[in-house]
Chains A and B, each alone.
Chain A
Amino acid sequence: MLLHPTALEAATTTGGFLLVLSIVVPVSGVLLAFVLGDRYVRLVAFAVVPLGLAIAAATLAILPQSDGPLVYLLGAWPPPLGVALRGDGLSAVMLATTALVISAIAVFATTDFCPAAAETRAPFAFWVLLLAIWGALNTIFIGGDLFTLYVALELLTFAAVPLVSLDGRAETLRAALRYLIFALLGSVLYLLGTALLYGLYGTLDIVLLSRRVSAEAAALVAAALMTTGLLAKTALFPLHLWLPPAHAGAPAAASAILSGLVVKGSFFIIIRLWFNVMPALPGFAATQLLATMGTAAIVFGSVVALWQERLKLLIAYSTLAQIGYLFLMFPLAFDASGRLESDEALAGGLLQAVSHATAKAAMFMAVGSIYVALGHDRITELRGIARARPMSLLAFALGGIALMGVPPSGASLAKDLLLQAAEESGQWWWAVVLQAGGMFTAAYVVLVLAHALAGSDVSIAVTGPASRNQDLAALALALCSLLLGLVPWDPYLPVPFGTAPKVFGIESLSKLLLPVLGGAVLAILLSPWPHPLASSTTWKALASAARPLRRAGIEFGRLVERSDDVLRQWPMAGISLLVVALLLAALMLAAN
């Protein structure tokens, strides 16, 4: 079901029109909502949501019956002159995920962005931009041409940036500007590479390009530039200066879109570039570099997350770590013939992206509800929230547990697939990172839950009643992420038969306990905050035994946090961008 260079699809296939609809429907929604304005913006969005869900479901249903990917030739012009839309298994999975997450966010945002009779700024912008992001992402998932993908990236960037500053505070405006400038820098690099590829091969169609491309220096330079640009847009460490303020400052619904979906857009284009356009070109060393940056992202993101005072910032840094996790699949997909293969590593990476999209959106929504209830989101003052907002906290916890890789979550299946690939390719070091990544995730989730669940004798003051719609939307997405491992993936992704996790049994118990216990230890050692159980006697006994270790842990944490501060300054981020581009180019040139 995946795009393959040998199969020439020079004609539109049955069901290809679904691909067109998945772009046209949200884009029509954008135009309609913009013209109608007033109280109709939300109405238009709610008309588009069921349609979009139906289109994504129909695509999922029709793809397994098709011989290969779904293809649609726009204007009936075949590539290279025309543009083709192609929907393979990866596209179908991402289309469905996006439809699901957008729908949940739409339900969540119903009350927060309720349009009044006279048009107001934030609801108008939010609903228009929500639909625009949907259209942009769908275009990215099915675009069969590198320039169409560029246009889709622009669409995505211009829809995402205003979401950051929806509340209009100076601080969020600054975050939005940072995001805009860095994302445009990424766009320019991507466009530069695209122009070089056209100059080399006279086409930008992904399938045609994959047949013509060869290991020429200019093609490698193009690949390095495009990858760097996309990494900047994905915020892979150390190109992450824009992510924490943007994702933490936006309103809850917007953060859920930005963290859950938007970063997956540029990530998906990296997959297309490396796996579909030039699977034989990057070489072993470049894949190792990507995964090394991913590992650094996991360590930095997780440790700095543990140092955050505010819950939203903690989740934003968690996104940083999870983005790093996504890049571990690149070396693991590298096989003996020197090509990136579409095997279980790719499936694992994509599943991880899907799990993160659902879980992280749920977590941001839950934190939004908690913030509204408390009027703040300081982690050390969460005590008692379990009683005041049980559903929100449950959604947060389920999302966190799903991310840790506890069976039967999608992240657990993804981890199994990646571990299997690591074993097959003999790259044990990435297996270590995979396991440690799960523990780091557990660490900050456990930290938050420990504060939230700690017994309290005084009841905390909360404002207003809980919104049931909001809680249900967050809970549904979190459950989705937690049960993703049970979905039959094999019609869409190369998931080998028999990897479906057993929910009950010794094995799954160990998979549950290992990350949680490891995470608890990490949280205790690395978090600088007073522990919620600090008053109990057993804790004091344990604490005195572990004091030197904890002191070392905190010193390490401080070092990591300081270096993160430096790396998030403009000069350092710019230098990082240049270094990444040069390193990628050098490694690719050396490999060919």
Chain B
Amino acid sequence: MSIATVFEIVLAAVVLGLAIWTIAVPETYSATVGFVAYGLLVALIWVRLDAVDVALTEAAIGGGLGGVLLLGAAARLRNADPTAVETPCKLVRLCAAALSSLIAAALVAAILLLPDPAPTLAPAAVAKAWATGLANPVTNVLMAFRAMDTMLEKVVLLLAIVGVWSLASDPAWGGRPGPRHEADPHGVLAFLARLLPSVGIVVGIYIFWTGADHPGGAFQGGAILASMWLLVVMAGLTDTPPVSSRRLRFILVAGPGLFLVVGIGGLCLGPAFLAYPLALAKPLILGIEVAMILTIAATLGLLLAGAPERSEQR
């Protein structure tokens, strides 16, 4: 047995154990911590499976931003009335456990029955890379072959923002999301918030830029930029923008908007909707990605910031 195999077995065991622990542990806070750790370990599994793009996304969303969101929710729930939560009786829980295990068994069987080697479109995606001039096949799939899905996913993000904002109270509409954070201007948080972004912004942009030819891309880069921005907000060095801000709204639709404009350009002037002319493919895709990284960073940050709470100070 090679070291790699031992490592994989240990990793799988720890992930499974952590998953069960996350479900079983009664305290919300512990479960959240378990879930964050779980997300980071799952990212490791993706690395072992050579899916580095997925690993980056899982670490950024499942471990990073998702973790912050869940910790915030757990902190709020700590003040809630614990008696309001009723646990179902033992019989129901046993029933649910048995049925879930059956479903899990069916899934395991289905996955074991999958053909090996798996039928895949990966070679086709690699072979068609000439159409865009980008070497990362994942970016090609996202931006060219399945561009429609990517564009619509960005609209989903926008709708999530609308959903979160619509939780505001009527008087607070148009105001700034989340509480105003106050931190000691000479404390550790403020220090980190001054230090880290200079590195984080470079890393975020690098991950985005390298996504053209290597693992990475707008989503992973955007997530890093969003976390840097949140750090600065939490340290009280800056405030969230009011949701009525026209500039903010423009940034939030920039990604899908530019995507649509380029797509319609292809419909009117080129061969098809979302088709790029060969000579302009790379600059167009990079342009869309620049707009997207801004949109993604702003969207993820605002999703975490929450609904508008404070009326705008003009």
Contacts and interface: CB of A to CB of B under 8 A. Distances in A.
Q: Is chain B found bound to chain A in the same assembly?
A: yes
B177 to A, nearest CB: 13
B126 to A, nearest CB: 11
A54 interface: no
B96 A75 contact: no
B156 A151 contact: yes
B8 interface: no
A46 to B, nearest CB: 19
B114 A125 contact: no
Question: Which of A12, A147, A154, A192 has the largest count of B CB atoms less than 10 A from its CB?
Answer: A154
Nearest to A118: B174
A83 B267 contact: no
Contact of B170 (A35, A121, A165): A121
A27 interface: yes
Question: Which of B145, B152, B244 has the largest count of A CB atoms less than 10 A from its CB?
Answer: B152
B6 interface: no
A28 to B, nearest CB: 6
A196 B249 contact: no
A147 B111 CA distance: 19
A124 B163 CA distance: 11
Given A125-B162, A582-B99, A120 B273 contact: no
A135 B155 contact: yes
A271 B33 CA distance: 41
B205 to A, nearest CB: 25
A567 to B, nearest CB: 13
A73 B271 CA distance: 10
A216 B244 CA distance: 54
Nearest to A121: B173
A314 to B, nearest CB: 27
Interface string A324-364: 00000000000000000000000000000000000000000
A571 interface: yes
B277 to A, nearest CB: 11
A34 B158 contact: yes
Contacts of B212: none
A585 B107 CA distance: 11
Given A30-B158, A132-B159, A217 B110 contact: yes
A528 interface: no
Contact of A119 (B95, B96, B169, B174): B174
Contacts of B264: 24
B109 A199 contact: no
B156 A158 contact: yes
Given A75-B266, A202-B121, A575 B166 contact: no
Interface in B123-168: 124-125, 128, 144-149, 152-153, 155-156, 158-160, 162-163, 165-168
B278 to A, nearest CB: 12
Given A31-B158, A31-B253, A578-B99, A196 B121 contact: no
Interface in A567-581: 570-572, 574-575, 578-579, 581
Given A74-B274, A75-B272, A575-B95, A81 B162 contact: no
B252 interface: yes
A578 B159 contact: no
A301 interface: no
B195 interface: no
Contacts of A501: none
Contact of B119 (A121, A148, A200): A200
Given A76-B275, A196-B111, A82 B159 contact: no
A218 interface: yes
A152 interface: yes
A122 B171 CA distance: 12
B272 A221 contact: no
A17 to B, nearest CB: 7
B123 to A, nearest CB: 10
Interface string A194-237: 00100111110000000000001110011000000000000000
A20 interface: yes
A548 interface: no
A386 B232 CA distance: 61
Nearest to A578: B99
Interface in A127-182: 128-129, 132, 135, 139, 147-148, 151-152, 154-155, 158-159, 161-162, 165-166, 168, 173
Interface string A68-104: 0000111111001111000000000000000000000
A222 B250 CA distance: 40
A35 B246 contact: yes
Given A80-B121, A120-B173, A168-B170, A217 B160 contact: no
A186 interface: no
Interface stretch (B16-24, B42-50, B184-192, B255-263): B255-263
Given A75-B145, A200-B119, A24 B106 contact: no
A265 interface: no
A201 B113 CA distance: 12
B210 interface: no
Nearest to B157: A158
B238 interface: no
Contacts, number: 192
Interface string A20-41: 1001100110110011010000
A151 B256 CA distance: 14
Contact of B250 (A35, A196, A571): A35
Question: Which of B99, B149, B276 has the largest count of A CB atoms less than 10 A from its CB?
Answer: B149
A203 B276 CA distance: 23
A20 B274 CA distance: 10
B162 A17 contact: no
Nearest to B249: A35
B110 A166 contact: no
A582 B102 contact: yes
Given A196-B110, A201-B119, A575-B96, A76 B271 contact: yes
Interface string B61-104: 00000000000000000000000000010001101100110110
Contact of B166 (A166, A570, A585): A166
B152 A139 contact: yes
A202 B106 contact: no
A62 to B, nearest CB: 17
Given A17-B267, A77-B144, A83-B149, A129 B162 contact: yes
B235 to A, nearest CB: 30
Contacts of B26: none
Nearest to A132: B159
B118 interface: yes
A574 B107 CA distance: 18
Contact of A34 (B100, B124, B153, B162): B162
Given A17-B267, A139-B152, A574 B159 contact: no
A168 B169 contact: yes
A211 to B, nearest CB: 13
Contacts of B256: 27, 31
Given A24-B264, A76-B275, A203-B121, A162 B99 contact: no
B146 A147 contact: yes
A202 B118 contact: yes
Given A34-B249, A132-B159, A217-B109, A81 B145 contact: yes
Given A574-B96, A578-B96, A24 B107 contact: no
A147 B149 contact: yes
Given A35-B249, A83-B146, A132-B162, 10 more contacts: A76-B275, A82-B145, A120-B170, A147-B146, A148-B149, A158-B156, A161-B163, A165-B167, A217-B113, A218-B109
Interface of A: 12, 17, 20, 23-24, 27-28, 30-31, 34-35, 37, 72-77, 80-83, 118-122, 124-125, 128-129, 132, 135, 139, 147-148, 151-152, 154-155, 158-159, 161-162, 165-166, 168, 173, 192, 196, 199-203, 216-218, 221-222, 570-572, 574-575, 578-579, 581-582, 585
12 contacts: A17-B267, A23-B148, A81-B125, A82-B146, A132-B162, A158-B163, A166-B166, A199-B115, A572-B92, A578-B99, A578-B103, A582-B102
The 6 closest A-B pairs by CB, nearest first: A202-B119, A578-B99, A571-B88, A76-B272, A218-B110, A158-B159
